[in-house]
Every structure is written in C-alpha cells, then in structure tokens.
C-alpha cells in the first residue's frame, strides 16, 4: 500500500492505496465521487475525464498513486455555486440524452476551451475526439461548446 495525498474538488484526502488502483476507482470508491463514471477499460470513451492540475485526463488511464500531490476537479466540483458555462450550455443546447458520457464530455470541453477559447466547429470536433457519445450524434455537443465559447469560459 502506498500513501497518497490528493485534493479532490477542493478537499484534501490522505489515503493508503494499492499501487494498481486506478484514479477513477479511487475517485468513485474511496472518495465517493460517483459523478465520474466508467465507460470502457481502454481509455477510448472518455466518460471518466477529470481535470488533474487543470489538464483533462482520462482517470481510468491514471493510477491513483500518480495523482499524489495533485489537485483533481471532477464534474461534481466544476460548478462553484452556479453552473459552469459549459454545464449551462450543455443544458441549453440539449447536448445530452442519457447523460453517461456527459461528465467526461463537459470536462473535456472545459479543457478544450481553456486551451482554445474560440474554436471553430472543426476544432471542437477534433478536440473532443477522445470522448464518445452514443446518443446525440454530437451535433448539439458542438453547438453547446460553441455557445459556451461565446459566453467566455
């Protein structure tokens, strides 16, 4: 077991974890952040995307021990009292149906807009290539990211 200290959504946690424990399982099962779901086991779907020290990562592709000393933001910590512009845009553009990919898609979109505040549609599509949605056909996701960009993230 390895000792780690991780800040998740503003709260610092100190835990003993198995070296093989995935960050997503640490978040879900140790910290209780079930807002971050698991969609695949090969880092293809992106449902588990969180921000680690401000950068988006697929938390199924990170070991909990690699997050030692990091500041992690999940979908549960993205809004600060009021909805984050990307969350609000996803609602307003009907950019989610079942909602399972949504936490990862929103986190990836937030990171995309941090990197490129005014992306073209093509840049949005390329930027979200690592996040799969089976419901929306992506049309409204692209619209939502465009809307969030317009509101200034």
Partner 1 sequence: MTATTEAPAAELGRARLRKEDARLITGQTRWTDNITQPGLLQIAFLRSPYAHAKIKNVDVSGALQQPGVIAAFSGADFAAEQGSLPCAWPVTPDIVIPPHPPMAVDEVRYVGEAVAVVVARDKYEAADALAAIDVEYEPLPPVLDMRAALEPGSPKVHDAGNKSYEWVFANGDVDAAFRDAPVVVERTYRQQRLIPCAIEPRAVVASWIGEELTLWSATQIPHVLRFALSAFFGIPEQDIRVIAPDVGGGFGSKLQVTAEEVLAVLISRRVGKPVKWTETRSEGNMTIHHGRDQWQQIKIAADRDGRIRGLSVDLLADMGAYLMLVTPGVPLLGAFMFPAIYKMDAYSFKCTGVFTTKMPTDAYRGAGRPEATYAIERIMDELAVELGMEPLELRERNWIKHEEFPYTTIAGLTYDSGNYEAATAKAKELFDYDALRREQLERNARGDKVRLGIGISTFTEMCGLAPSRVLGSLSYGAGGWEHASIRMLPTGKVEVVTGSSAHGQGHETAWSQIVADQLGVPFEDIRVLHGDTQVSPKGMDTYGSRSLAVGGLALVGACDKVIAKAKVFAAAMLEASADDLEWSAGRFSVRGDPDASKTIQEIALAAFAAHGTPDGVEPSLDSDHTHDPDNFSFPHGTHLCATEVDTETGFVKIRSYVAVDDVGVVVNPLIVEGQVHGGIAQGIAQALYEEGIYDDDGNLVTTTLADYLVPSAADLPSYVTSRTETAASNRLGVKGVGEAGTIASTPAVVNAIVDALRPFGVNDITMPCTPERVWRAIQSASTSGGMA
Note the residues at the interface with partner 1 (CB under 8 A): 18, 20-21, 28-29, 33-42, 44-45, 47, 74-76, 78-79, 83, 87, 90-92, 94, 96-103, 106, 121, 124-126, 128-142
C-beta closer to partner 1: residue 6 or 85: 85
Tell me the three state secondary structure of residue 138.
coil
Residues in the chain: 153
Q: Mapping DSSP to helix (H, G, I), strand (E, B) and coil, where does residue 33 land?
A: coil
Nearer to partner 1, 67 or 85 (CB): 85
18 or 53: whose CB is closer to partner 1?
A: 18
- For residue 5, the minimal CB distance to partner 1 (Å) is 22
Q: Where are the alpha helices (DSSP H) in the chain?
A: 23-25, 75-78, 85-92, 102-115, 121-127, 139-151
To partner 1, the closest distance from the beta carbon of 35 in angstroms equals 2
- Closest approach of partner 1 to the CB of residue 23, in Å: 14
Structure tokens belonging to residue 85: 């512009």
CB 78 within 8 A of CB 84: yes
Q: For tokens 């949605």, what's the residue? A: 133
Q: Which is nearer to partner 1, 69 or 119 (CB)?
A: 119
């Amino acid at each position: 077991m390895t000792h780690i200290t991780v800040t998740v959504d503003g709260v610092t946690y100190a835990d003993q974890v198995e070296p093989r424990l995935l960050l997503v399982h640490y978040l879900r099962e140790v910290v209780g952040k079930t807002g971050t779901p698991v969609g695949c086991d090969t880092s293809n779907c992106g449902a588990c995307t969180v921000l680690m020290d401000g950068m988006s990562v697929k938390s199924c592709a990170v070991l909990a021990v690699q997050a030692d000393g990091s500041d992690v933001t999940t979908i549960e910590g993205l809004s600060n009292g009021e909805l984050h512009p990307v969350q609000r845009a996803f609602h307003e553009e009907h950019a989610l149906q079942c909602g399972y990919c949504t936490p990862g898609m929103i986190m990836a979109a937030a990171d995309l807009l941090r990197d490129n505040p005014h992306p073209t549609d093509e840049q949005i599509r390329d930027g979200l290539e690592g996040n799969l949605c089976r419901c929306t056909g992506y049309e409204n996701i692209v619209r939502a990211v465009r809307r969030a960009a317009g509101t200034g993230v």
